[in-house]
Amino acid sequence: MAFRFTLQSVLRLRRSREKQEERKLLAIASAAGRVRTEIERLEEISMDQYQRRNDELTSGATIGAMLQFDTLQFERRKILAELEHKRAEQAAEYRRARQQREIMEGLRDHQKAKFDREFQKREQERADEIFLIRKIVSDRE
């Protein structure tokens, strides 16, 4: 008789949920990485244009374009902060899903070990019975 884990479908569900939470976490981390890259690019542009802005301000150029650029940077930083917050929440969800799966696997492993011990015990009992039967038969001869 082979070992059969009665909660195998629950374990499959837990594994599936863990994978799903992991994919969500990776998607959020990827989005945060893209925004971080965009912020870095904007900062590079900002550094290059810093001197030009000062020159334009002293020459009376419009401030609107510069404010728009600053607003864009601010918005990207706000989006990044939101994504980092979502990433932290999703990481917690992923950890919970992983722990639930590990609990189910631990239960399965415990039940399998118990099954194996009982199987070995039954096999030893059979071997002992066969030995005793053979001994009785050989003693009678």
Is 0.85 surpassed by the pTM of this model?
no
Q: Write out the residue range of the structural domain in which residue 41 sits.
A: 8-140
Count of domains for the chain: 1
DSSP 22-40: HHHHHHHHHHHHHHHHHHH
Tokens of 71: 């607003």
* Structural contact between residues 28 and 83, judged by C-beta atoms closer than 8 angstroms: yes
Long-range contacts (CB closer than 8 Å, 24 or more residues apart) made by 106-110: 107/7, 108/5, 108/7, 108/8, 108/11
pLDDT digits (tens, 9 = 90+) for 97-134: 999 999 999 999 999 999 999 999 999 999 999 999 99
- Classify residue 27: in a domain, yes or no: yes
Q: Tell me whether residue 1 is in a domain.
A: no
Note whether residue 111 is domain-resident.
Answer: yes
Assess contact for 20 and 94: CB atoms under 8 A.
Answer: no
- Per-residue pLDDT band at 58 (split at 50, 70, 90): low
